[in-house]
């Protein structure tokens, strides 16, 4: 992974906005929130604030992950959405390309995760001190070299999908942290937040937002 932060430029695609919600398609390579230091100040929320001054953070995607992200535009919306994520009432779907042939076609990873402190921000599986983490997977297509999967995280731990796929022996291709050998061969990490289902803060109706994977 390059040590210099060089985020993609250009407009952020807006999927939906109304009086409470803003949904965008986050590009890969852009931080969700500022990092430490002025060189990491450029991020998704800073760019959105220029157009939507009341935008409020609800959740994050890793820098190298693309796809659907929701923000609140009011304090009420931020609280309402935050509770949905906390209580696991949102449904998130990701698309990933993995190294090797993943079998069987469907399954669940149930492995607790915790920060790998000497190597932070990396995470690791730890049965003693890790927090519960669950991921369902379904194979979409596979060859001996590669597998395309749809992933449903049932919890929201940091780097959950990346570490869970690594634990299965099939790391996400292009992952600079957990598959550094493949990172040089791919233009980006092959992980995309494809769909987000949630309840609208104004009235609670179920809504769905989806962006096709760019890979």
Catalytic machinery residues: 62
Q: What is the DSSP letter of 81?
A: H
Q: What is the token pair recorded at 49?
A: 């604030």
- CB-CB neighbours of 163 under 10 Å: 27
Q: Whole-angstrom Cα distance, residue 103 to residue 194?
A: 22
CA 100 to chain centre: 22
Q: Whole-angstrom Cα distance, residue 103 to residue 161?
A: 17
Cβ contact 179:188 at 8 Å: no
Q: What is the token pair recorded at 43?
A: 């991020």
Residue 204: exposure state from Cβ atoms within 10 A (0-12, 13-18, ≥19): exposed
Cβ contact 90:196 at 8 Å: yes
What are residue 71's DSSP bridge partners? 22
Q: Whole-angstrom Cα distance, residue 35 to residue 41?
A: 6
């Amino acid at each position: 992974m390059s040590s210099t932060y060089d985020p993609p430029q250009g407009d952020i695609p807006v999927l939906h906005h109304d009086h409470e919600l803003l949904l965008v398609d986050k590009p890969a390579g852009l931080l969700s929130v500022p990092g430490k230091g002025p060189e990491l100040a450029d991020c998704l929320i800073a760019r959105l604030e220029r157009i939507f001054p009341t935008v409020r953070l609800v959740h994050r995607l890793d820098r190298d992950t693309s796809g659907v992200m929701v923000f609140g535009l009011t304090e009420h919306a931020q609280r309402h959405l935050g509770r949905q994520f906390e209580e696991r009432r949102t449904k998130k779907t990701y698309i990933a390309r993995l190294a090797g042939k993943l079998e069987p076609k469907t399954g669940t990873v149930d492995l607790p995760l915790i920060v790998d402190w000497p190597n932070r921000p990396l995470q690791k599986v730890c049965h003693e001190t890790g927090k519960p983490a669950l991921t369902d997977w379904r194979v979409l297509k596979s060859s001996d070299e590669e597998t395309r999967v749809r992933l449903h995280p049932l919890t929201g731990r940091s780097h959950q999908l990346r570490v869970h796929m690594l634990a299965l022996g099939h790391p996400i291709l292009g992952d600079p942290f957990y598959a550094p050998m493949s990172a040089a061969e791919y233009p980006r990490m092959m992980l995309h937040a494809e769909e987000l289902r949630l309840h609208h803060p104004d009235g609670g109706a179920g809504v769905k937002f989806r962006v096709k994977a760019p890979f």
